[in-house]
Amino acid sequence: MLLDKSVLHQNLTALSRAIAAGLLSAVGMAAAGASEHEGQQIDGEMGRPASFRVMSFNIEWGGAHVSFAGITDAIRAADADIVGIQEAEGNLARLARDLGWHYDLRNHIVSKYPVIDPPGAGGKYVLVEVLPGRVVAIANVHLPPTPSGAAWFRAGRTPEQVVAMERRVRLSVMEPFLTALPGLARQGMPVFLSGDFNSPSHEDWIEAALGRFPRRDHIVPWPVTGAAAAAGLRDSFRDIHPDPVADPGFTWWAARPKIADYNPADKSLQTRIDFVWYGGPAKVIDSRLVGEAGAREVDVTVVPWPSDHRAVVSGFEAIPAPMPLLVAAERKVHTSGTPIAFVYRNRTPRGSLVMERHGDSVVVERRIALEPDAGQLKVRDNFLQPGFYQAVLQDRAGHEVSRNEFWIVAPDATPSVSVTGNRFASGEPLPVVWQNAPGNRYDWIAIYEVNAAEKQKYRAWGYIGARSSGHMQVSAGNSQDDWPLAPGRYVARLLLDDGYALLAESAPFVVD
């Protein structure tokens, strides 16, 4: 575990300020120096700087409630190059097509530059090739929206109670990212973290801000942003706009046109919960808000504004790192009959790419000779049966260098979900199996009572890890407040990308 949580929890504000004054300023100065000089050494190779803009954008329920074209308009108006999208709800590929960009479903990233989902990342980050053969890492998060710290304050909870809830609900989700990214930064990789944190910043709720904004009545060491700072990352917006009173940087809510389903009320607390953080050999040049016309601090406007969140976009100079040794398919899930694009970097020329199909046994389907030590390759998959595969990169001597997973599904394949068994005792874990899921980051499985009509009335649930096929145990570990399930008849539903679009439903089963 990277973070010393006992120290962090005892005095998060003091720890963050100390790091900001010491270690982080040193990292920032090193990054600034790196960007000013051609030829900085990274892992023994000469590096040159790259300039690009990173954006964090919660597009609200798939981006289609006001104007989907407004989402692309906002990205173009912001002159963004890499965008972390929240609430894509199955529309990420559509957005990338409209922009003419690359995309990664497992991380909800769209980018002008090629995007690589590397082995070992586990869906926590992707690499973006901002210069030929040189990459930066970006992670993108959408932390749980409920319970809300602001709502807890309105209900009379204390700052200590709110901070404890934030640690349990949101910091626990963030911690894997705060382990992975600083590790990359220490190796000389520029790293970026976009996201809707659904939690404010510890740098905003300070003594100087008390009483200056509605319901800003407490000094709060918000633990998620405090942990990001303690892990060595920097808040790009607050680096450029250091005064949280003069420049509060509110990103939620935005005054978009009213829609049928939900509208933030005027009395709702406005706050800054959308961020672009950075670390490693990078420095921030500027940071702006993108949103509705006439709003305070909004520098880039689109009419009508399409989301209940404003976006934040920050410009950077960075020294990208050499692409590591790897093999990766362009997509995790491919339709049979279409070419599969791979990117690779090997130790030496004349290696090979081996495609293994995994099932009851491992079958080597094809071996392809590779001439250069790095490059791209398109493979026609007419000879590959649908199933789960591993792409294995081998060097000239036949030693394994890297492996990475992907799936092939038949053109007429439909998603399915089943529960292994038809009767369970109350509290017994439910073994669930799914196939032919589309591979979005937040595809999920939920347990409903048979014939439940209200989409929000699920009983227990879990994300399936952007895997096209697999299995999971639904149990107390991924339930909400009503586990064990009450006696009754239930079904498992496979749902699309954090939304309620139904992909598949299981046969009914009984809980006694």
> Among residues 86, 103, 87, 107, which one has the least CA distance to residue 95?
103
Whether residue 34 is predicted with pLDDT greater than 70 in this model: the reply is: no
**5-322 matches 326-409 in fold:** no
For the beta sheet containing 430-435, the strands, ordered from the edge strand earlier in sequence to the opposite edge, are 416-419, 430-435, 470-474
Angstrom distances, CA of residue 175 to CA of 3, 89, 231, 391:
8, 24, 10, 29
Instruction: Assign 383 a pLDDT band (cuts: 50, 70, 90).
Output: confident
**Could you give the angle at the alpha carbon of 455 between the alpha carbons of 460 and 489, nearest 5°?**
55
Q: Could you say which DSSP state residue 477 is in?
A: G
Domain borders along the chain are 5-322, 326-409, 416-511
Q: Select from 3.30.710.10, 3.10.20.30, 3.20.20.140, 2.60.40.2840 the CATH code of 416-511.
A: 2.60.40.2840
pLDDT score at 41: 36
pLDDT of residue 46: 52
Per residue in 308-327, pLDDT (tens digit) is: 999 999 999 999 999 999 99
pLDDT score, position 265: 78
pLDDT at 11: 35
CATH number of 5-322: 3.60.10.10
Q: What are 511's two structure tokens?
A: 């809980």
What CATH architecture applies to the domain 326-409?
A: Sandwich (2.60)
- Span 409-448, pLDDT tens digits: 999 999 999 999 999 999 999 999 999 999 999 999 999 9
CA-based radius of gyration for the chain: 23
- Count CB atoms within 10 A of the CB of residue 300: 17
Residue in 243, 233, 218 with CA at minimum distance from that of residue 180: 233
How does pLDDT run across 338-349, given as a tens digit for each residue? 899 999 999 999
DSSP, res 506: P
- Helices 68-77 and 92-99 cross at an angle (nearest 10°) of 50
What's the chain's average pLDDT? 89
Say yes or no to pLDDT of 384 above 90: no
pLDDT greater at residue 261 or residue 55? 55
Backbone angles phi, psi at 131, to 5 degrees: -135, 155
Q: How far apart are CA 80 and CA 103, in angstroms?
A: 14
How far is residue 478's CA from residue 223's CA, in Å, rounded to a whole number?
23
**Which residues, in sequence order, are CB contacts of 240 under 8 Å at separation 6+?**
284, 286, 287, 314
Q: Is the pLDDT of residue 248 over 70?
A: yes
**Ramachandran region, residue 228 (left: φ > 0; alpha: ψ -120 to 50; beta: rest):** alpha
Q: What are the residue ranges of helices labelled H in 234-387?
A: 236-240
Give the model's confidence band at 476: pLDDT under 50 very low, under 70 low, under 90 confident, else very high. Answer: confident
Beta-carbon-side half-sphere exposure of residue 132 (alpha carbons within 13 Å): 3
Query: Sign of the C-alpha dihedral, residues 388, 392, 398, 402?
Result: negative
pLDDT at 430: 96
Q: Token pair 């597009």 is at which residue?
A: 59
pTM: 0.89
Structure tokens at 371: 């001439």
User: Which pairs count as long-range contacts for 374-378, CB under 8 Å and 24+ apart, including other chains?
Assistant: 374/133, 374/323, 374/344, 374/345, 374/346, 375/343, 375/344, 376/341, 376/342, 376/343, 376/344, 377/341, 377/342, 377/343, 377/344, 377/353, 378/339, 378/340, 378/341, 378/342
Let me know: does 469 contact 407? Beta carbons within 8 Å: yes
pLDDT of residue 28 exceeding 70: no
Q: Which residues of 442-469 are buried (b: 16+ CB within 10 A; e: fewer)?
A: bbbbbbbbeebeeeeebbbbbbbbbbbb
pLDDT confidence of residue 37: 27
Judge contact between 182 and 233, C-beta under 8 A: yes
Tens-place pLDDT, residues 164-202: 999 999 999 999 999 999 999 999 999 999 999 999 999
pLDDT confidence band for 483 (50 / 70 / 90): confident
